A and B are shown apart, each in its own frame.
Chain A
């Protein structure tokens, strides 16, 4: 089967690229060297490109992603734009013009990636129409959300001219072809089989197909957004014989908000989930902007975050606090597992090799006091040292229900059961908070590493409880 993709409006065959070849390397080998490698792990954004993805209304959203993490085979049949395709030296794109005129580039190496991330935000349909909200120094007068650039690093400028360029952007012109493209549907997902026997990339088109591939190949590696596996490929030289991409399987892309529960498909990107939920789950609304960067969230999925079983993933503590279930699908049918029973050891879970995470389900109604506290060195684009998610139901000043999810304190994400037990039935006041702060410091067994010391991790658990109370004391005497 011949694989091709549309790059800057041109049809390009994939050629001899291997199953593990990244979109970055493929673009560069094809002369599009505006796409740069800065870190090869999705941290710096120098490789950002735009991908045409379906939006909620049948049109297209231009989505910026890290080309260093996505295998080019995963872009089979898709449309992408690079910095070279947005404009040319003779005809600069408005984003390019603003960046060039305003001193937004110095060495210029990170610039094409910034341009692509900025262009994605430039073309966001609701950018200029939504209220700018609180002046939190992260939104421009033109609705530009600075988080759109949270996955791009610049070592030269200090960012100010880049921010000013972003905030100076107007709206796309009437005849802007990239803007007009949004009105038509994005390319359909294509079933793909690519590579040789020593390395194959397979994208089934249905859940049944995917499950039968897994049944036949128990050693296959299931991948959705490639934001974790891509790092393994680039940094640790991992080359699995069979990679099964589940990022475009319709059954894994469900989004459902009922009276009893919220269901989010395992392959829904975090950005799509964020747009769909639109703040309706406050705990997740707090989490999303702190999860890596926009470039990562545009590809990363909840299914992937749970699938890796990592103890420092950011969604598990929140989903534990939300009492979420994991829906696992296999050829034999579906089963629903409480997330608190899902993790069994360091990067180990109850998921069998023939199973896929199809979705997660969050029961409703939600607790009325929730918060997500992520401790990291950097506010944008960092990995947690510790993450604490709270979901307390406080009625008449008394803690009814209490669920606390912890990350980064043990081999798995875990619930702070002793602390929860202590809280339940007590009045929500400073004494209770202090007692809970002491108890939570005994949960888990944090380690010291290059991110933080064990002592800091432990004390941050306690501090999170105290901070939660300090920020929500009004529930104290609520009648």
Chain B
């Protein structure tokens, strides 16, 4: 057992703890960025002027009238920028553009004494545009050859030859729509200067270090002149990995120009029309199976809609290509990946980061092919699982491959899958207008940033003379429970009760150069760093305690705030007594911790390596009921078994699994990003730009019976206290909803007929699929007469 994964007795990790801010949440006292901002009565509000064109040149910008609006203090334009007019670390997003690249692109920002003054000021800014031709759909961009970033190929064996020799070859095409993050807290930043001229920025961001970096180059300052704090976010889901930083720069620039605090808080309309989303993907595939239902070859092209700038899309595409195998052995494969450039918002990270689209493709393959092969879909999937020793298409050995069939069979049992399948068959046989479907799907998800250098983290741990502990780390809290886990890790590492540890907000002046909290790696990386810092302090305290107890330092035990010799024997000291003694002996009671994930390598040029430390596994079995009259459906029951290693915090992990599942079913069944693709004046406008038109799952979409369990005995040797990452993988468990719908729809038609599902299986899409299935029954019946 590695020292990283070894869990001491009396560990605080593994105990179900509520969220560390739960009491603040429920009483409304937990503050978010704009809650802080409204406590600054002097702060100016900022409002964007958004262009009403998908693509246009700004030919004139007149701000005089706006400056005449009562309460307007200043209109920020490119002329105000002392540094570089650039809002992205990739260098292709001007903060103040002269070329409008999407409908709603902000061209300048108005600062007012109140949001109302800034709003009226923005309406008074006069902008002239010269409209330019625009590309909105993926098909338009492909036709125009409008690509960005590097195209990639994932290849193993000779896929074309395998398809040529395959007994069964089936093709598919699926145009996936992407997903809006819809974090409940919209983008928010507050910037002000302190008495020493230091710029302090409160920002709702997953990556304070990047906010600092961008503000520094916009203002022409060095990083040490800027501190960014991310107190907590009201949801992130990847939408606050890069997206907040242009807004932080606006707030900082406003504070620089006016000398007053400036707050930027987007309203929902602004947020949804300005910020990037999960990209839509055009997925084309051709799969070959042998007579036993074994997948023998796959070719595919994945075309991602990057929107107007590159942002994180190259990395998203990498993860999509790396997850097309999901849990399945594909002996011969050739997948092409490319990113189109369109006149839409710049698409970005979203929980799963391309993984969901890769996995969607392969699950579509199985869902669509099972009837044609005459094999039950659950059995077809199981048959194709990786076996131990096999490698992924990019050459990484599939660690813990035996977990997938273990989880699968355990879930089949616990969900009474076979029995319910028979019951459903009986129900469907007699029910004309309501049909049920039950499907099980797997998830295997690689953990670590594909880009090796991001796999590092820092922490700062302070022990005070009274034995109390304050920790700080570079990860951010967006609701996922990272801070709760870090408190449990520190308490475990120092052998103190959870109540002895406090956590201070994430700030760039405490832990520098921290990576984004993303790719599900927050607990792995920051947990490693927190433990490293705690271990340093504990080792020093052990030396002090050893002398006091008359035992060797190596034999000193820390547990529950007691410090003893071997076996917890008397005499015992308190943690506080040892801290006091260490202080008086001039022993350092603070430490900077650091962690980097070992053993990773990745070569994007050859598309090979071992980019992931390990894989997280899971499976879901979901039952739905479809109303054939309308296509409306209900989720009657979902059972999930998910592998989080040895859970650091079970209540938090179960919450992530449940929440990821429901967010995933929103993506697959409900949430429709619709853009105006007409040639009318609003071409490129997002049509579903409000909560009233872009529908998130509500209580009515929650599975009526929802059973989530964590896979037992699941220690991961390579991660903090044997745990595994949990943030992203459960989202893809929702593919079981889509597959269950496919089966229910199939039962409206003749047996053995494959069901092709639309991008989002909304009630309308389900209705048309039901109608197609039904029509294919009646047509031959009529012909028989």
Interface residues of A (CB under 8 A from B): 18, 28-29, 31-41, 43-44, 46, 82-84, 86-89, 92, 95-97, 99-112, 115, 137, 146, 149-150, 152-161, 163, 231, 234-235, 237, 373, 375-383, 385, 449-453, 456, 459-460, 463-464, 466-467, 470
B369: A residues at CB distance < 8 A: none
Kindly state the interface size class of chain B when it binds its partner. 35 or more
The 0/1 profile, CB within 8 Å of A marked 1, for residues 701-726 of chain B is 11111101000000000000000000
Given that A28-B38, A88-B27, A158-B661 are contacting pairs, would A378 and B670 also be in contact in the complex, using a CB cutoff of 8 Å?
Answer: yes
B762: A residues at CB distance < 8 A: 377
Taken together as a complex, chains A and B put the C-alpha atoms of A382 and B762 apart, in Å, by 13
Q: What does DSSP make chain A's interface, helix, strand, loop or mixed?
A: loop
| A155 in contact with B268 (CB, 8 Å) | no
| B22 in contact with A107 (CB, 8 Å) | no
Contact partner of A153 (CB less than 8 A), chosen from B25, B34, B236, B696, is B696
| B691 in contact with A41 (CB, 8 Å) | yes
Given that A103-B655, A456-B764 are contacting pairs, would A155 and B237 also be in contact in the complex, using a CB cutoff of 8 Å?
Answer: yes
| B655 in contact with A157 (CB, 8 Å) | yes
Taken together as a complex, chains A and B put the C-alpha atoms of A33 and B265 apart, in Å, by 14
| A111 in contact with B655 (CB, 8 Å) | no
User: How far is the CB of B118 from the nearest CB of chain A, in Å?
Assistant: 12
User: How far is the CB of A23 from the nearest CB of chain B, in Å?
Assistant: 14
| B691 in contact with A43 (CB, 8 Å) | yes
Q: List 24 A-B contacts (CB under 8 A).
A: A33-B39, A38-B186, A83-B26, A83-B27, A84-B28, A88-B29, A89-B23, A89-B27, A103-B19, A103-B652, A107-B232, A107-B234, A108-B479, A112-B28, A152-B699, A153-B691, A155-B663, A157-B658, A158-B660, A373-B630, A375-B763, A379-B701, A452-B764, A467-B433
| A160 in contact with B690 (CB, 8 Å) | no
Given that A158-B658, A158-B702 are contacting pairs, would A450 and B28 also be in contact in the complex, using a CB cutoff of 8 Å?
Answer: no
| A107 in contact with B184 (CB, 8 Å) | yes
User: How far is the CB of B11 from the nearest CB of chain A, in Å?
Assistant: 20
Name the 6 nearest CB pairs between A and B, nearest first. Answer: A34-B28, A107-B479, A109-B234, A108-B25, A158-B662, A43-B691
Q: In chain A, what residue has the closest Cβ to B634?
A: A379
User: How far is the CB of A102 from the nearest CB of chain B, in Å?
Assistant: 8
A237: B residues at CB distance < 8 A: 119, 123
B116: A residues at CB distance < 8 A: 18
Taken together as a complex, chains A and B put the C-alpha atoms of A35 and B27 apart, in Å, by 10
| B481 in contact with A109 (CB, 8 Å) | no
Interface residues of B (CB under 8 A from A): 18-19, 21-32, 34-35, 38-39, 116, 119, 123, 182-186, 232-237, 267-269, 432-433, 478-481, 629-630, 632, 634, 651-652, 654-655, 658-663, 670, 672, 674, 687-688, 690-693, 695-706, 708, 762-764, 767-768
| A39 in contact with B691 (CB, 8 Å) | yes
A451: B residues at CB distance < 8 A: 693
Q: What does DSSP make chain B's interface, helix, strand, loop or mixed?
A: loop
| B27 in contact with A34 (CB, 8 Å) | yes
Given that A380-B698, A451-B693, A452-B764 are contacting pairs, would A153 and B27 also be in contact in the complex, using a CB cutoff of 8 Å?
Answer: no
Contact partner of B693 (CB less than 8 A), chosen from A29, A159, A450, is A450
B481: A residues at CB distance < 8 A: 106
Taken together as a complex, chains A and B put the C-alpha atoms of A44 and B186 apart, in Å, by 13
Given that A146-B699, A470-B433 are contacting pairs, would A92 and B235 also be in contact in the complex, using a CB cutoff of 8 Å?
Answer: no
| A163 in contact with B232 (CB, 8 Å) | no
| A39 in contact with B693 (CB, 8 Å) | no
| B233 in contact with A107 (CB, 8 Å) | yes
Q: In chain A, what residue has the closest Cβ to B39?
A: A31
Taken together as a complex, chains A and B put the C-alpha atoms of A382 and B186 apart, in Å, by 22
Known: A39-B690, A100-B18. 9 other contacts (CB 8 A): A36-B32, A97-B26, A103-B652, A105-B25, A106-B659, A153-B184, A160-B702, A450-B688, A456-B768
Contact partner of A108 (CB less than 8 A), chosen from B123, B234, B237, B268, is B234
Contact partner of A235 (CB less than 8 A), chosen from B269, B699, B706, is B269
| A100 in contact with B23 (CB, 8 Å) | yes
Given that A39-B690, A453-B764, A463-B629 are contacting pairs, would A32 and B28 also be in contact in the complex, using a CB cutoff of 8 Å?
Answer: yes
| A83 in contact with B661 (CB, 8 Å) | no
| A41 in contact with B690 (CB, 8 Å) | yes
B632: A residues at CB distance < 8 A: 375, 379
| B22 in contact with A105 (CB, 8 Å) | yes
Taken together as a complex, chains A and B put the C-alpha atoms of A32 and B27 apart, in Å, by 11
Q: In chain B, what residue has the closest Cβ to A28?
A: B38
Taken together as a complex, chains A and B put the C-alpha atoms of A450 and B670 apart, in Å, by 12
User: How far is the CB of B186 from the nearest CB of chain A, in Å?
Assistant: 8
Contact partner of A105 (CB less than 8 A), chosen from B26, B236, B674, is B26
A152: B residues at CB distance < 8 A: 699
Taken together as a complex, chains A and B put the C-alpha atoms of A335 and B459 apart, in Å, by 75
Contact partner of A89 (CB less than 8 A), chosen from B29, B660, B695, is B29
Most buried by B among A18, A111, A452, A459: A111
Given that A107-B185, A108-B234, A382-B695 are contacting pairs, would A92 and B702 also be in contact in the complex, using a CB cutoff of 8 Å?
Answer: no
Contact partner of B698 (CB less than 8 A), chosen from A112, A373, A378, A449, is A378
User: How far is the CB of A140 from the nearest CB of chain B, in Å?
Assistant: 12
B432: A residues at CB distance < 8 A: 470
| B659 in contact with A157 (CB, 8 Å) | yes
Taken together as a complex, chains A and B put the C-alpha atoms of A163 and B704 apart, in Å, by 10
| A106 in contact with B27 (CB, 8 Å) | no
User: How far is the CB of B571 from the nearest CB of chain A, in Å?
Assistant: 37
Taken together as a complex, chains A and B put the C-alpha atoms of A3 and B407 apart, in Å, by 63
Given that A106-B655, A158-B661, A470-B433 are contacting pairs, would A450 and B706 also be in contact in the complex, using a CB cutoff of 8 Å?
Answer: no
| A463 in contact with B630 (CB, 8 Å) | yes
Contact partner of A109 (CB less than 8 A), chosen from B185, B480, B662, B764, is B185
Most buried by B among A18, A107, A112, A155: A107
Taken together as a complex, chains A and B put the C-alpha atoms of A385 and B696 apart, in Å, by 17
| A84 in contact with B27 (CB, 8 Å) | yes
| A92 in contact with B690 (CB, 8 Å) | no
Given that A103-B18, A153-B691, A157-B655 are contacting pairs, would A381 and B38 also be in contact in the complex, using a CB cutoff of 8 Å?
Answer: no
